[in-house]
Chains A and B, each alone.
Chain A
Amino acid sequence: MKRRAFLSLLGAGGAACLLGQSAQAAGPKEFPGYPGSFGVLFDATRCIGCRRCEAGCNQVNGLPAPPEPFDDLSVLNKTRRTNAKTYTIVNRYDNIPGAAGPVFRKNQCQHCLEPACASSCFVRAFTKTPQGAVTWDGSVCVGCRYCMIACPFDIPTFEYGEVISPRIMKCTMCWDHITAGKLTVPGCVGACPVEALVYGKRADLLRIARGRFAAFPGRYLDHIYGEHEMGGTNWLYISGVPFKDIGLREDLGTTSAPQYTSGALAVVPIIATAWPALLVGVYAIHRRMDKVAHEEQVQAVTQAVAKAQEEAAAKLAKAKADAAADKKSAIEREVKKALEEAAKAQTEEDK
């Protein structure tokens, strides 16, 4: 009983493991991005860290004024990240080996080709638009903040101070302004005084980047950050110093975020169909065994009863026979006794 239960548990568990493994191996095909989608190319060798892009973004998106004005460059002394009031920030990176001076880098949403934020949102609040931008729809967001857990670039931020309708805040690539015709290029791009930012079709940007590599030998590393990172992004970076030294992780790999969970999700229908069948099977086995055990028990009982009855009958018969024999011998004894007495009396009379 115990052993049987244990074995079936083991079998069930083993099957689940096998299913899990084989489904994990499968994954979706790579998505090369929407053809003709737009993006921005950032050139770290040109950026001078003036924070005009920050000001431009703040202005076109109507974000609240920061405590320090945008021309205060002392804020660059600290490494910052995006927050609920700032879609984009510029950071300064000092003491980079091989660099003549500090290097600056602008950060904002990378507008991934296959965004982690969009694949992780359980109400599909994010949309990867065919134009390239990743946008967010506040009318369905629950505020669970899983998108913030998922984004490998630490981009989405949350209005923790809002009570009624806290929003997820992040760069939109100025999608709404551009589609409404209010802007032709994103606010930050338009504000840059040194053309460190270029807005255009992603395919063209990749060509421009390669063109600069060829035109200025030795100035750039031969790598366009964002071409393949996390499956590729619409925002691209080129630089003269290693990307990890300007706050861009080089260990992200080229696998897009949705592929990390697709295996686990693929198992779901398998569990949903195979598991009940398996469990019903296990149940049926136990029921059958219980039934057999029960039948065996019933049979054993009947046999025992029958045997007992037989024995009782035999005993009775024997007792009867014994009794009859007893009786017979008693009669014989009595008869004999009577005869003997009669004979005795006879002899006494004869005397």
Chain B
Amino acid sequence: MSTATPMKKTWLTPFNIIVGIILLVGGFVTILRFTKGLAGVTNLTDNYPWGIWISFDLLCGVALAAGGFTTSAACYIFGLKRFHSAVRPAILTAFLGYSLVVFALHYDVGRPWRLPYPFFVQSGTTSVLFEVGLCVFLYLITLFVEWVPSALEWLGFKKPRNVIVRMTLALTIFGVVLSTMHQSSLGALYLIAPSKMHPLWYSMFLPLFFFVSAIAAGLSMVIFEGTLSHHYLHAKMDKTYLKEHDGVTFGFAKGAAVVLVVYFFIKIVGITLDNNWHYLFTGYGAWFLFELLGFVALPAFLYAMAVREHNACLVRWGAVITVLGIVLNRFNVSLVAFNWQLPPAQKYFPSWMEIAISVFIVTLGLLVFRFIATKMPIFYEHPNFREHVPHEGEEEEAPEFVEHELKPHPQSLGH
């Protein structure tokens, strides 16, 4: 679809072949899902009503899309204006991330056309899931509005664009409030079932754990995506973006290091308050320590080292490990710790078709991101809508951006 291969060249690049296969298989499983029901494609059981479509697509998806609210809050509320050029890519990723979360839910729930029911037909306000749903719904709209200026600039509509840009602060605050609520509520979903959760992962602080770790995940994802985009979408970036890129990388690394340390300590506090230390000497304890030391303490340390030594490569390692750690944590809470008392034979393991759908959805996200990032002003400021205020000591430059339309950088293809 968005593979803008130059006409002469063949379509059969390795990238296109892999994407093509993923899309085909995804389409096939989609048909199965909506003709044979959930039983036709998933390994879900009455004991395991939630599988990887919730663990990965919902829990990880939302946590990893936290870059949107963390970046815009850092820039617009906490006054860190040097992160300005990172806001647009982060908002776009968040918007796509949340759209895909909602899209994926259509596969998972039994009657997807009823997804608006909680808001428009009958509301179960005592349910944590209601809060999650409402906040995600409102936040998706907020992200859409925050993203719209990019599209309007692309289309050249000045007036509506300026109206929205003037609402930036209000939108940012709204986004932070909604994010705080639903990021933490995703953890709160499991509060209702203490008897089914392993004590090491169950705590009344679950909402706080989810919220704090989502901030670390969001910051790390911005770094991670920045690296990837730098590689594949370099031609689309303007001077400001490139100049600020290093500052963003190290600034976010510093932030992530602090957040991870905080996260590490509140996890320890959680264990101490519930007096769960003795569980650490069991198999589950080893797994818990693996997560806490290998995927919280280690990346915190890497980030701190990287900032000290100004080592961008180390920052990237920190980001990758943090992101993996969040995925591991969400899987641990929702699949490993959940129903830990069940005999192994009754435990859930995803079918290949469930995995195929998750891969399919991530692929769709990447394609749409690339399409938008190569067409609209995401990594650069539109020459007619420049807002970037040069830093002190910096000379005001004429917009030196060169239009690359329909002529993508060769690196953005064939990978």
Contact = CB atoms under 8 A, between A and B. Distances in A.
Contacts of A145: 49-50, 109-110
A163 B46 contact: no
B46 A81 contact: yes
Interface in A227-269: 249, 251-252, 257-258, 260-261, 263-265, 267-268
Interface stretch (A13-21, A37-45, A175-183, A207-215): A13-21
Interface in A257-309: 257-258, 260-261, 263-265, 267-268, 271-272, 275-276, 279-280, 282-283, 286-287, 289-290, 297
A126 to B, nearest CB: 9
B73 to A, nearest CB: 8
B123 A122 contact: yes
B118 A264 contact: no
Interface stretch (A61-69, A99-107, A150-158, A317-325): A150-158
Given A143-B110, A264-B188, A6 B128 contact: no
Interface stretch (B156-164, B193-201, B295-303): B193-201
B265 to A, nearest CB: 11
A257 B127 CA distance: 11
Contacts of A140: 114, 117, 121-122
Q: Which of A9, A141, A157 has the most CB of B within 10 A?
A: A9
B207 A283 contact: no
A163 B37 contact: yes
Nearest to B187: A264
A5 B78 contact: yes
Interface string B32-58: 001111111010101101100000000
A132 B128 CA distance: 24
Contact of B176 (A148, A158, A263, A275): A275
B189 A146 contact: yes
A261 B191 contact: yes
B130 interface: yes
B150 to A, nearest CB: 23
Nearest to A154: B47
B216 to A, nearest CB: 13
Given A163-B36, A276-B177, A279-B173, A20 B208 contact: yes
Main secondary structure on A side of the interface with B: helix
B176 A279 contact: yes
A13 B262 contact: yes
A350 B192 CA distance: 131
Task: Give the one of B123, B126, B180 with max A CB within 10 A.
Answer: B126
Contacts of A283: 76-77, 79, 169, 173
Given A13-B262, A142-B110, A160 B42 contact: yes
Nearest to B135: A268
Given A20-B207, A141-B111, A166-B38, A152 B133 contact: no
Contacts of A83: 46
Contact of B177 (A156, A251, A272, A282): A272
Given A142-B114, A279-B176, A158 B46 contact: yes
A337 interface: no
A120 interface: yes
Given A166-B37, A279-B176, A9 B46 contact: no
The listed residue with most B CB atoms (<10 A of its CB), out of A17, A140, A260, A289, is: A260
Given A161-B37, A261-B188, A283-B76, A119 B127 contact: yes
B173 A122 contact: no
Contacts of B47: 81, 154
Interface in B191-240: 191-196, 204-205, 207-208
A125 B111 CA distance: 14
A233 B194 CA distance: 18
Most buried by B among A123, A166, A267, A280: A123
A17 B208 contact: yes
B146 interface: no
Interface in B80-112: 80, 108-111
Contacts of A131: none
Contacts of B181: 268, 271-272
B115 interface: yes
A124 to B, nearest CB: 4
Which among B50, B78, B117, B123 has the greatest number of chain A C-beta atoms within 10 A?
B78
Interface string A108-150: 0000000010111111110000000000000011111110111
Given A142-B115, A166-B37, A122 B127 contact: yes
B49 A148 contact: yes
Contacts of B111: 141-143, 164-166
Contact of A123 (B50, B118, B192, B338): B118
Contacts of A280: 173
Residue with the greatest number of chain A CB neighbours at <10 A, chosen from B35, B37, B79, B173: B79
Nearest to A286: B79
A262 to B, nearest CB: 8
Contact of A162 (B37, B78, B118, B126): B37
Contacts of A251: 195
Identify the interface centre among A20, A264, A286: most chain B CB within 10 Å of its CB.
Answer: A264
A267 B182 CA distance: 12
B124 interface: yes
Nearest to B131: A268
Interface in B327-377: 338
A124 B122 contact: yes
A263 B204 contact: yes
B127 A289 contact: no
A281 to B, nearest CB: 10
Contacts of A165: 110-111
A125 B118 CA distance: 10
Contact of B195 (A120, A162, A252): A252
Given A144-B110, A144-B129, A145-B50, 14 more contacts: A1-B79, A123-B123, A142-B118, A144-B108, A148-B49, A149-B189, A150-B192, A150-B193, A158-B110, A162-B110, A163-B37, A164-B111, A260-B192, A279-B77
7 pairs of A and B residues whose beta carbons are closest in the complex: A143-B110, A286-B79, A145-B49, A160-B39, A122-B130, A264-B188, A148-B49
Interface of A: 1, 5-6, 8-9, 13, 16-17, 20, 24, 81-84, 116, 118-125, 140-146, 148-150, 152, 154, 156-166, 249, 251-252, 257-258, 260-261, 263-265, 267-268, 271-272, 275-276, 279-280, 282-283, 286-287, 289-290, 297
30 contacts: A1-B79, A8-B78, A81-B46, A81-B47, A82-B46, A120-B126, A120-B129, A125-B124, A141-B110, A146-B127, A146-B129, A148-B46, A149-B50, A149-B189, A149-B192, A150-B193, A154-B47, A156-B46, A158-B49, A160-B38, A251-B195, A260-B191, A261-B128, A264-B184, A265-B131, A268-B181, A275-B176, A279-B176, A280-B173, A283-B169
